[in-house]
């Protein structure tokens, strides 16, 4: 960010410009303004990814162990599968096993930006979450930065002020963010404000030293439709906007995280409010999930919300898997979640500033390939080529068309008829 402010175009900016189809100067200006981030720790080589205004909608995949199930090989496979099928970033949310070893192994198996939530480890290293000290919380951040983590979710917007708003709300699920819950439990037990908020300047020093991007976590995000768009959430929005301003002044890249469960008609309100209050900082959303009654299909529920959020300006979408709310996801569920989220991101890009023409050209090329019954080109353009080709081959037609219509293919019949006129 400091190089961009000086007017210097870095190699990372050039790489992002090439991948996004924009000029390097445009990328430099957006990074300098804080409206685009390129997460990259100084200690790690990654594939540069631009997240923010005018960039294509990016997606993140969460992997990691739980205390109930620890299998490093499976988590590595999940991370590799997620990157293979289009994840632009990987986050390690591990809470079980040797957390340092797991993180180092995962980060070595992916080339895209890598993120973590440091408070998870700080809490897991104590018998009780509330026994963490301020030093414990910051020492873990420094450890993750030294290991090459490119972006970190920090719940600095959860403070005593937002806690008071929560107490006065009529929420059903109170707080569903694990990091937010850890922070609230700590504040209530210790009678002190959140160290990440109270010592935000110190946090910025660590981030700046390693050029880590701060992802300001949404600890007050709603966990059901009933809890959406309340005072607690908007109080956190206001605080996050103030912290983004401080980060930009310090030359530290930052993005903000947004709500989880939001009704369709309130998604635009949430996105617009967050963008306005945070000075158009890159916005990272989980979903939003637009109904609470579809367990087993929440990846689809999240994709619906993601497309609408992307239309309104969300920049970075966290993948949701079919196991959301139910279990630790399997490798196959990670794959399915990534592909569904990739579709949602493309849908958003078809109406997104800076990406609309490029995204719609892909759809135009698919339309041409369908007109020509050019199956190879259709498979090449498909978001999930493997599945499209497998379905086509499973029941091939005797004609050039698919087996749904065969010789009665409408496209083929009209094309032939028009040639005769």
pLDDT digits (tens, 9 = 90+) for 216-268: 999 999 999 999 999 889 999 999 999 999 999 999 999 999 989 999 999 99
Task: Give the pLDDT of residue 259.
Answer: 87
Name the packing angle between helices 264-277 and 298-312 (round to 10°).
50
Per the CB < 8 A criterion, the answer to whether 229 and 189 are in contact is no
Task: Give the pLDDT of residue 110.
Answer: 98
Q: Distance (Å, rounded) from C-alpha 196 to C-alpha 227?
A: 25
Residue 277, pLDDT above cutoff 90: yes
Backbone phi, psi, residue 176, to 5°: -110, -10
List 90's β-bridge partners, or say none: 61, 114
Mean pLDDT value across the chain: 96
Concatenate the DSSP letters of all residues of 204-238 into one string: HHHHHHHTPEEEE--TT--SSGGGTT-HHHHHHHH
Provide the pLDDT confidence category of residue 13 given band limits of 50, 70 and 90.
very high
Closest among 102, 74, 88, 107 to 330, alpha carbons compared: 74
Task: Give the pLDDT of residue 128.
Answer: 92
Map out the domains of the chain as residue ranges.
1-55, 56-349, 372-420
Q: List the structure tokens of 112.
A: 């895209």
pTM: 0.96
The CATH H-level superfamily of 56-349 is Radical SAM ThiC family, central domain (3.20.20.540)
Residue 208, pLDDT above cutoff 90: yes
Residue position matching structure tokens 């509330």 = 130
Per the CB < 8 A criterion, the answer to whether 12 and 42 are in contact is no
- To 10 degrees, the CA torsion angle through 176, 318, 265, 36? 120
């Amino acid at each position: 960010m400091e190089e961009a402010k000086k007017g210097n175009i870095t190699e990372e900016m050039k790489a992002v410009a090439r991948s996004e189809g924009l000029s390097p100067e445009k990328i430099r200006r957006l990074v300098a303004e804080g409206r685009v981030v390129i997460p990259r720790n100084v200690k790690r080589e990654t594939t540069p990814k631009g997240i923010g205004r005018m960039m294509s909608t990016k997606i993140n995949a969460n992997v990691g162990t739980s205390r109930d199930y620890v299998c490093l090989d499976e988590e590595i496979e999940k991370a590799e599968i997620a990157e293979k099928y289009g994840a632009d970033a990987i986050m390690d949310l591990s809470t079980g096993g040797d957390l340092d070893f797991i993180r180092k192994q995962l980060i070595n198996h992916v080339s895209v930006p890598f993120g973590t939530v440091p408070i998870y480890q700080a809490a897991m290293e104590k018998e009780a979450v509330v026994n963490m000290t301020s030093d414990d919380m910051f020492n873990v951040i420094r450890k993750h930065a030294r290991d090459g983590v490119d972006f970190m979710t920090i719940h600095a917007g959860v403070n005593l002020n937002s806690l008071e708003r929560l107490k006065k709300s009529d929420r059903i699920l109170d707080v569903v963010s694990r990091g937010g819950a850890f922070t609230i439990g700590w504040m209530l037990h210790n009678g002190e404000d959140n160290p990440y908020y109270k010592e935000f300047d110190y946090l910025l020093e660590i981030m700046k030293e390693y050029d880590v991007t701060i992802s300001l976590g949404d600890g007050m995000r709603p966990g059901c439709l009933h809890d959406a768009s309340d005072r607690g959430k908007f109080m956190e929005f206001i605080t996050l906007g103030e912290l983004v301003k401080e980060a930009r002044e310090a030359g530290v890249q930052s993005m903000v995280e947004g709500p989880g469960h939001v009704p369709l008609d309130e998604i635009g309100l949430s996105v617009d409010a967050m963008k306005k209050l945070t000075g158009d900082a890159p916005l990272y959303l989980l979903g939003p999930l637009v109904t609470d009654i579809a367990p087993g299909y929440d990846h689809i529920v999240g994709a619906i919300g993601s497309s609408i959020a992307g239309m309104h300006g969300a920049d970075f979408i966290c993948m949701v898997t079919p196991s959301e709310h139910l279990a630790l996801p399997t490798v196959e569920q990670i794959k399915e979640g990534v592909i569904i989220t990739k579709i949602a991101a493309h849908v958003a890009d078809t109406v997104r500033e800076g990406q609309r023409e490029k995204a719609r050209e892909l759809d135009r090329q698919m339309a041409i390939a369908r007109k020509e019954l050019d199956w190879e080109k259709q498979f090449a353009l498909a978001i999930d080529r493997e599945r499209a080709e497998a379905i086509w081959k499973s029941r091939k037609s005797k004609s050039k068309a698919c087996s749904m219509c065969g010789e009665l293919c409408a496209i083929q019949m009209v094309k032939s008829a028009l040639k005769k006129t």
